[in-house]
């Protein structure tokens, strides 16, 4: 699933290409991807409007249109949002096409889990999932003190807590594993047990892996591509995710895999020992 860095990369790539363009035609090839209103009403609502601004909230793409309407796009597991300037036939699994004044914006999704909706901007706070999001980890207002508040007294495993979008918006399986590795924290540790030193290390690690993920254009381990259809490069920088059996970059111990919060989880048994604090790289 595209996580914060992937969605941010898509938004940054699309913004200069489509901002200011008018949506001239709407083609819906798979009705189920339109969450609301019903497909014909969706097409009527967005057609003719100008794209005024793109932004990201958690893993959601928000496309602000003229007349006070916002299109909300969630890519889920395998969704892609790619801009084309040629009129070639759309690729397989294309479910929504927006014909713009100078190109086409195509939403494709092999597994059909992604969703698109359009609502008056004044009703965004009523959109399920979006309205319940926690703070943005890259927001300057998200401080180390705020992370301490979020973990304090929580009995959840720290990985489960970081994956909870109501606690912290945008974190997913890949970047959570990488951040916990950099901080030297075992994914099964109860959040409430983290020391002040560990919480500080985790705060720095979360910021670092997200910033690097964006800098390298996101992580392509399956279907993710950016606004131009190009794969990311951060998969080449991963330390533990997907590395079961490979030597830890720090100590050489084979990377282990377990299941935490229902997700495949990768960690170093030595560097992220349940009883140790931080391994000192910070």
**Catalytic residue status for 269:** no
Q: How buried is 34 (Cβ within 10 angstroms: 0-12 exposed, 13-18 middle, 19+ buried)?
A: buried
Q: How far apart are CA 223 and CA 1, in angstroms?
A: 8
**Catalytic residue status for 59:** yes
Long-range CB pairs of 202-209, under 8 A, 24+ apart, other chains included = 202/147, 202/158, 203/144, 203/147, 204/282, 205/178, 205/179, 205/180, 205/181, 206/137, 206/147, 206/162, 206/168, 206/171, 206/175, 206/179, 207/137, 207/138, 208/179, 208/182, 209/175, 209/178, 209/179, 209/182
**Catalytic residue status for 52:** no
Catalytic residue from among 49, 56, 59, 239: 59
Strands 34-36 and 115-120: parallel
- Measured over the CA atoms of residue 87, residue 92, residue 97 and residue 103, the dihedral's sign is negative
Catalytic residue from among 76, 200, 263, 270: 263
**Catalytic residue status for 3:** yes
Residues with catalytic roles: 2-3, 59, 263
């Amino acid at each position: 699933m595209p996580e914060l860095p992937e969605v941010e990369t898509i938004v940054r790539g699309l913004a200069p290409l489509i901002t200011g363009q008018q949506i001239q035609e709407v083609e819906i090839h798979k009705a189920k991807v339109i969450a609301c209103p019903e497909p014909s009403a969706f097409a009527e609502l967005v057609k003719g409007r100008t794209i005024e601004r793109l932004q990201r909230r958690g893993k959601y793409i928000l496309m602000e249109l003229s007349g006070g309407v916002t299109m909300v796009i969630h890519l889920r597991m395998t969704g892609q949002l790619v801009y084309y300037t040629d009129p070639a036939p759309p690729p397989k699994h294309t479910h929504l096409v927006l014909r713009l004044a100078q190109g086409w914006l195509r939403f494709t999704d092999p597994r059909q889990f992604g969703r698109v909706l359009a609502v008056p901007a004044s009703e965004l706070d009523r959109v399920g999932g979006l309205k319940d999001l926690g703070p943005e980890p890259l927001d300057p207002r998200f401080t180390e003190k705020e992370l301490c508040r979020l973990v304090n007294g929580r009995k959840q495993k720290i990985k489960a807590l970081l994956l909870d979008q109501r606690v912290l918006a945008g974190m997913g399986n890949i970047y959570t594993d990488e951040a916990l590795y950099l901080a030297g924290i075992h994914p099964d540790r109860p959040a409430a047990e983290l020391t002040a030193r560990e919480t500080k290390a985790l705060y720095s690690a979360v910021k670092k892996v997200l910033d690097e993920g964006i800098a390298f254009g996101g992580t392509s381990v399956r279907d993710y591509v950016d606004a131009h259809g190009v794969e990311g490069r951060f998969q080449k920088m991963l330390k533990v995710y997907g590395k079961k059996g490979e030597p830890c970059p720090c100590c050489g111990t084979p990377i282990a895999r377990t299941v935490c919060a229902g997700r495949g989880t990768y960690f170093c048994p030595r560097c992220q020992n349940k009883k140790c604090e931080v391994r000192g790289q910070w």
